[in-house]
Chain A
């Protein structure tokens, strides 16, 4: 799905559902989410619209000028087999790594989380006026009573049955506000439809515009009076993180960090003797450097900085390297590298943010433990794929 819809959008849509399903199934959702994000990142590599680096590469004027043979179709044709191979190998790695981690939640987990949520609400409350203080104290008492209840429960009850009955669930979670649900569904359907259309035909709307127009329409037709209540649920933590990260990366770019990596890559490739070996070396170096750098640095400025470098390498008559394999290598490296760490790709941060808000924090380390081995496996697969299909058998 990520291949046709922007990664971040996909994750935004699927994460809440996944958490809820995992909840129903009585497992912790973190590991499932990590796997979901990773497949989303891998799937997004396949097409020019799936992942931001691909969008940058394909829209670059220099690439269009020097490699006119690369368009939506040929790009997908060259990327998709590699992506399929990489997802097969990553699937086994993720499975292997997840086996021990996905565990049944203990039956009291939900109650514990409820208490945690109450406590957080308590922390968020203002206590300026007397009224607010009164509510605050009452909440505090309620939290204490909940904790007592949980203790009693833990002493008395045993585990519950594992068969899930959907009718029972529907009774448990009734649709309380049917008009709102219908309205929401209509707006969301339109927004998602526009997202898909966006990748298929040229709209004069960017994804951000579509989302914001959707939000405004949603707010209008739902007839909600208390706007504060709605805005409180927007995760400003995640948004602030992105803002901070973008500024950090741009400032580091200003300090020349990314240019430095580019220069080192070029000098490394130029040092290899000419011939078939040089192309192979260039492909391997670009894939691995891109993957490792974009795991730790945001991959958007990196791609923006590397595109001119790669074009320069590919068009230099002295080096004599064809351009298109280098471009595919760059796209593979930057996209798959995003799986390496929690902050390597935007989709990872979004999933972590949503999950944390629902009471299941994903730590940097737990992501790294699954993400990094998976990233290494998928990148190794791609290296083999590129070497076989672009170096041994030149396929243009």
Chain B
């Protein structure tokens, strides 16, 4: 299949951005060849394929570009085609990108502005450069760049944990102490010394013990994990927990 592109502007036409998006799912390899037989291979998935004419063709005014697109797919495939002639400064785009990144880091490192503002300023500048050099992405496209998987997870957990969990000043600590003392409460329900009621709480303990204690073996010893059945722990667990906390505090301060 051969496509003839419209005539390009002699001043800017040496750099060309082609966006090729296969609509059919199921990858198929396509070869894009221009009139000068530059061969480029791209895997056509749902991704954009980006082609910028290379250094050799620069300075040559090309009136028409020819692209041949072949595919190894048996079934016919559909694709989107969009081409943009780029200005000459496109060859410095990596430098621009590096400069923006440096600027954002300077803002954050020297705490000139809050990091949220720094990231937004950087995003704004980078978008400005992209708009200038390539084509301006639509607001919809820009919003689609945000990873809502991460943001949604954060939002949901923040509502649950801080919005409601911490809505009274005291509940956070109560929750914390409830989680931390849960093994003792739960262990009265179980009488098996080998299977612990909650794997999660063991992990939490491990992490905290690893961080807070000079030796976490001593911590477990103190709790009685190593020298008795968990159900025995119920007696005097409060004192043990308190003394553990204070010993941790002193080991950190020393």
Contact = CB atoms under 8 A, between A and B. Distances in A.
How many chain A residues sit at the interface, stated as a range, is: 35 or more
A39 interface: yes
A357 B242 contact: no
B253 A103 contact: yes
16 contacts: A8-B150, A8-B153, A8-B154, A16-B161, A18-B208, A20-B172, A21-B212, A32-B211, A52-B150, A102-B253, A181-B171, A230-B159, A244-B119, A244-B120, A248-B122, A248-B126
Contacts of A6: 153
Interface string A256-278: 11001000000000000000000
How many chain B residues sit at the interface, stated as a range, is: 35 or more
Nearest to A10: B207
Contacts of A158: none
A234 B101 contact: no
Contacts, number: 285
Contact of A14 (B100, B137, B207): B207
Contact of B133 (A8, A214, A245, A255): A255
Contacts of B179: 17
Closest 7 CB pairs of A and B: A211-B156, A208-B152, A244-B119, A251-B126, A230-B163, A257-B97, A250-B145
B177 interface: yes
B134 A364 contact: no
Interface in A192-227: 192, 196, 206-215, 218-219, 222, 224
B165 to A, nearest CB: 5
Nearest to B246: A164
Contacts of B114: 237
Contact of A255 (B93, B116, B175, B250): B93
Given A166-B242, A181-B171, A231-B163, A246 B211 contact: no
A342 B129 CA distance: 26
Contacts of B242: 163-167, 169
A281 to B, nearest CB: 24
A315 to B, nearest CB: 13
Given A181-B175, A234-B163, A164 B253 contact: no
Contact of A21 (B100, B134, B147, B208): B208
Interface stretch (B3-11, B63-71, B73-81, B104-112): B104-112
B160 interface: yes
A247 B166 contact: no
A143 interface: no
Given A21-B245, A25-B248, A169 B177 contact: yes
A214 B126 CA distance: 36
B243 to A, nearest CB: 8
Contact of A256 (B93, B120, B174, B249): B93
B157 A12 contact: yes
Contacts of A35: 211
B26 to A, nearest CB: 10
B116 A224 contact: no
A363 B114 CA distance: 10
Which residue, A39, A254, A368, has most C-beta atoms of chain B within 10 A?
A254
Contact of B155 (A167, A173, A212, A354): A212
Contact of A233 (B163, B171, B212): B163
B241 interface: yes
B38 interface: no
B200 A192 contact: yes
Contact of A244 (B43, B123, B129): B123
A41 B120 CA distance: 25
A164 B211 CA distance: 19
Contacts of B116: 237-238, 240-241, 244
The secondary structure that dominates the A interface is: helix
Contacts of B155: 211-212, 215, 234, 239
Contacts of A363: 111
A24 interface: yes
B109 A364 contact: yes
A166 B115 contact: no
B51 interface: no
Contacts of B206: 1
B174 A248 contact: no
B253 A104 contact: yes
B142 interface: yes
B162 A166 contact: no
Nearest to A102: B252
Contacts of A104: 253
Contacts of B133: 255
A394 B162 CA distance: 49
Contact of B170 (A61, A164, A173, A243): A173
A211 B152 contact: yes
A300 B151 CA distance: 14
A260 to B, nearest CB: 5
B162 A357 contact: yes
Interface string A166-182: 11011001111100110
B146 A215 contact: no
A166 B238 contact: yes
